[in-house]
Amino acid sequence: MLNRLDLRGHGTDVANRLPRPTLDGSEPVEAVREIISDVRSKGDEALLELTAKFDGVELASVRVAQAELDAALDNISSGLREALEASVASVDLFHQHQLRAPEVIDRDGVVINAYQKPIQRAGLYVPGGRAEYPSTVVMTAVPAKVAGVGSVALCVPPNRTTGKVADSVLAAAKLSGVDEVYAVGGAQAIAAMAYGTKSIPPVDVIAGPGNIYVALAKQMVAGDVGVAAAFAGPSEVVVVADETAVPEFAAIDVMLQAEHGPDGLAWLITWDEAVADAVCEAGNALLATAVRADEIRSTLAEGGYVALVDDEAAALAVVDAIAPEHLELQVADAESLAARVNNAGAIFCGNLAPASLGDYIIGPSHVLPTYGSARFASALTVGDFMKDHHVVTVNTDGISNFGPHVITLAEAEGLDSHAESIRLRMKAGDGK
């Protein structure tokens, strides 16, 4: 099931011995540039052409009517609606705790009012086409709404068979407070949200995961528009297991992210060869009956590994070098080991905490950093949809207390007008 990598004998000196994905020289780069250019120059016409080309769907308009969102709630099962409502409630509750109260700093004649303000318009991307991901709607839209974003737009590819956006996705959009839905996917959706078309007004921030084309497009438009969180690309999971792990649990958890399809990573790390053998054996048995076996095999063939290491310290060295999107610690005293992890998007401790709980219901967003970007980034939060503001008020005491230091620093930098802006005020305060 997994490619075996024997790192024993190298201790923690493993970072340069690991196979890692790279975007350098990747074929999609030029294709994404062309798509973005096409959308910028041709707008809606390009969106319709590209949707026909890549999704096999001919559309008259990319906008999904509000009536379809309303009808979707009635079209889905009561069980699915209940699950979506539970997910929305959990994600909302978690993100409410991320809101910061305004602060006032008053000292030595200077008053600073510091507060957060939401962006005006957010654009969300949710993968689709062959699959449905209502959970990703919840995990992106709810943090944006909690942040107070006034207008939330969602782009999702239409289903290749029906030509429409799935009812489950539309229902999730309705329950999560999405204002607009557009049946467009891929790099063209990112370009449309970044630069705008006749149908899709431009947004301030884009959030949401996607395939390599989507992730590259977000990199390319960053700067012209905000790109929330980190490089949210194909799914990744690392499972660290010892003799306390349940082989079937470890195996299915390696598989669960792999079933998203190609370009992802799925790793098992252990210092016990018997554990590696048992997990691989369990995985082969599970794979034989897996519904998405083809997708899993495809991912594991290119990005599936079982790494044998010397000990816990070596395992952590591998984890930190990979900086995975999802990390599962199926080991004794998992919480203690978690405290020693430096780089991971989300950490799940113990045999009863599969990443699937985080994907759907626990609360934190499942939009997480991939491609090693967990070294410097984290999960999507309300902060990705907000800006920090500070308002400064100064009285004569403030000029007297801080002004001389400003003059000294400005003169050291050769910026005399900066210094003069203080001198003039100090003279005025002295009545001269």
Catalytic residue positions, numbered: 325-326
Helix, coil or strand: residue 155 = strand
Q: How many CB atoms lie within 10 A of CB 415?
A: 12
- Cβ atoms within 10 A of the Cβ of 34, count? 11
Beta strands 326-330 and 110-118 are unpaired
Q: Look up residue 85 and give its two tokens.
A: 């409502």
DSSP 60-92: S-SBPPHHHHHHHHHHS-HHHHHHHHHHHHHHH
Angle, vertex CA 209, rays to CA 204 and CA 210, nearest 5: 110
Neighbours of 15 (CB within 10 A): 12
CA nearest 373: which of 231, 223, 221, 216? Answer: 231
> What is the spatial order of strands in the sheet that 205-207 belongs to?
180-182, 151-155, 121-125, 205-207, 226-227
Within 8 A by CB and 6+ apart from 283, the residues are 1, 2, 251, 252, 254, 255
Positive or negative: CA dihedral 104, 94, 233, 322 = positive
Helix ranges, 229-342 (H): 247-258, 273-287, 293-303, 312-322, 334-338
Cα–Cα distance measured from residue 400 to residue 383, given in angstroms and rounded to the nearest whole number: 36
Measure the CA–CA gap between 340 and 2, rounded to whole angstroms.
Answer: 26
Kindly tell me the burial class for residue 425, based on how many C-beta atoms sit within 10 Å of its own C-beta (0-12, 13-18, 19 or more). middle
Q: Is beta strand 180-182 parallel, antiparallel or unpaired with respect to 236-241?
A: unpaired
Contact 346, 361 (CB under 8 A): no
